[in-house]
Structure 1
């Protein structure tokens, strides 16, 4: 019998080749099929890492900022705790970026989508809302009730955003409403800049509105995913410099926060501009066709 190469199918007859291809396809389907809910995939561990980062960020803010403020202790660890919390959320955003990529490359699990929503709720819903609430408590001249109300608005916006993501089917490569990680990072950037209280709350409310809006955002894939990862790494570096008190650390933190807010403000404008351009192009094409 002729020796065959199972990968190239060299030396096989038609029937043998067909049978081997069928078995290979069955094996590939088995490898790519979602695992049972009793088994976690590699992507699930990344998703759980996102949830852990969200919890640790809340813990860092509580022990490093809120408790010292309530007990009247020294405010020395405030900068370090804030930088640690934001860095944890950036790492959580990296986990959220990669878990989908890993799930598409490797076998996913039946729990994947549910775990992802729950982890996102912790890291990009509860954590930024908690940031806003604590900011309202520790910031001089603030209104705790008003900050709690805006914090609740952020949380509800993320809940609605995640529920709609699960229920509404969009075109491939498109998000409806500002993605939760981007919204969370923008809310935290506003808090880090510590603007006047009422204008800051209005900006945060605007971010919450963008998350539940129907504006279409592109998913971070390919070059956009690489740019997003690079942005996260640079942001972590800026926060580390700021927390360590290095020369220019405060400037780097402010530049990064302003850039994040600008990006969040420009994204819907660019999307709207593109849609208007498409509509104008369609109208011109119809006029030209009618002539």
Structure 2
């Protein structure tokens, strides 16, 4: 007997489901090596863009938008939240700093809750639009992961950042989709931050942090769109 998905899901869906598995591996890796977990989060961001490219070339399926949002929960909701929680639990103890430790767990939990909320709203209301309300989950996750690779692993940095993203993901701030060429540049920088180590790897982590933060701050007001050629950093073009 064949699995139910045979003949119903396409190649793009396979990439999406693989991305969900990468998100789980990133969660596991976070308890061992924060740098490795951050690289896996960025690898998931690259895969998130790749499934859109595959969908445009090979076609998508009705299940695609739902699979994409579910995968994003793992890779860009739970995994980056785990980065923050592990950094907090390693730095703060229940005996010495119980309030900080509680925040170090509660804020990442809120981040996951808001990521799930944002992805549900996106799938229901924004999937066919050229812009979306709230900070895209992939953008938030990429900034947190890039910060870790750039050396900003202190919970006093990561916990407030996660709290800020939790609020921004469900805000009404409108983000336009990235142009295809800009998404490609972002993907190349992400890939180099993933594969390179040492001083050179940190340089590309800083570059990614700068580019993603610039889009976070300036995108809603200054990023102009053309009528064609969109490719989103926040959600896969598969869902358009």
Task: Name the TM-score, length of structure 2 as normaliser.
Answer: 0.77
In structure 1, the partner of 2:56 is 104
In structure 2, the partner of 1:93 is 45
For the residue of structure 1 that corresponds to 2:9, the secondary structure is coil
Deviations 1:169-203 (A, max 9, x none): 37743232221111012123344534654354222
- C-alpha distance in structure 2 between counterparts of 1:124 and 1:171, whole Å: 21
Residue 179 (1) aligns with residue 131 (2): no
Unaligned runs of 5+ in 2: 224-240
Distance 1:88 1:188, change over 3 A: closer
Residue correspondence of structure 1 range 220-231 to structure 2 within 5 A: 220-231=178-189
In structure 1, the partner of 2:20 is 51
Give the alignment partner of residue 219 of structure 2, picking from 271, 274, 283. Answer: 271
In structure 1, the partner of 2:34 is 82
For the residue of structure 1 that corresponds to 2:132, the secondary structure is strand
- C-alpha distance in structure 2 between counterparts of 1:146 and 1:41, whole Å: 42
Residue correspondence of structure 1 range 196-275 to structure 2 within 5 A: 197-238=155-196, 241-242=197-198, 248=199, 252-253=201-202, 255-274=203-222
Larger Rg: 1
In structure 1, the partner of 2:66 is 114
Give the conservation status (yes or no) of the 8 Å contact 2:130–2:177: yes
- C-alpha distance in structure 2 between counterparts of 1:191 and 1:115, whole Å: 28
Q: Over aligned residue pairs, what C-alpha RMSD do you find?
A: 2.6
Q: How many aligned positions are there?
A: 213
Residue 153 (1) aligns with residue 113 (2): no
In structure 1, the partner of 2:231 is none
- C-alpha distance in structure 2 between counterparts of 1:256 and 1:212, whole Å: 29
Task: Name the TM-score, length of structure 1 as normaliser.
Answer: 0.65
Q: Tell me: higher relative CO, structure 1 or 2? Use CA pairs within 8 A at least 6 residues apart.
A: 2
Unaligned runs of 5+ in 1: 1-35, 65-80, 243-247, 276-291
Give the conservation status (yes or no) of the 8 Å contact 1:135–1:191: no
